[in-house]
Amino acid sequence: MDVAVYSIAKTVADCFKFRNKIGLDVALEALREVLRERRCNRDELRQYAKTNRVENIMRPYMEAMSI
């Protein structure tokens, strides 16, 4: 199966959108890696999270990982 990656921030937001299918652990690992490697900024993540309607789900994890 081919999966198109448009931007890293969108891919992370998509992981949270489909967390019931791929697993929350996969979504959290994706978020952790992106933040650790600084591959995109938090504003981009918030923008795509809002677009995918997972902003309220991602916010606590993003806040916890910012400490």
* Predicted confidence (pLDDT) at residue 64 exceeds the cutoff of 90: yes
Q: How confident is the model at residue 2 (pLDDT cuts 50, 70, 90)?
A: confident
* Predicted confidence (pLDDT) at residue 4 exceeds the cutoff of 90: no
Q: What is the pTM of this model?
A: 0.88
Burial class (CB in 10 A: 0-12, 13-18, 19+), 31: buried
Q: What is the pLDDT of residues 6-60, one digit of tens each?
A: 899 999 999 999 999 999 999 999 999 999 999 999 999 999 999 999 999 999 9
Could you give the CA distance from residue 40 to residue 7 in angstroms, rounded to a whole number? 9
List, in order, residues 6 or more apart from 51 with CB less than 8 Å away.
13
The full set of domain ranges for the chain reads: 8-65
The pLDDT, as a whole number, for residue 31 is: 96
The pLDDT, as a whole number, for residue 66 is: 79
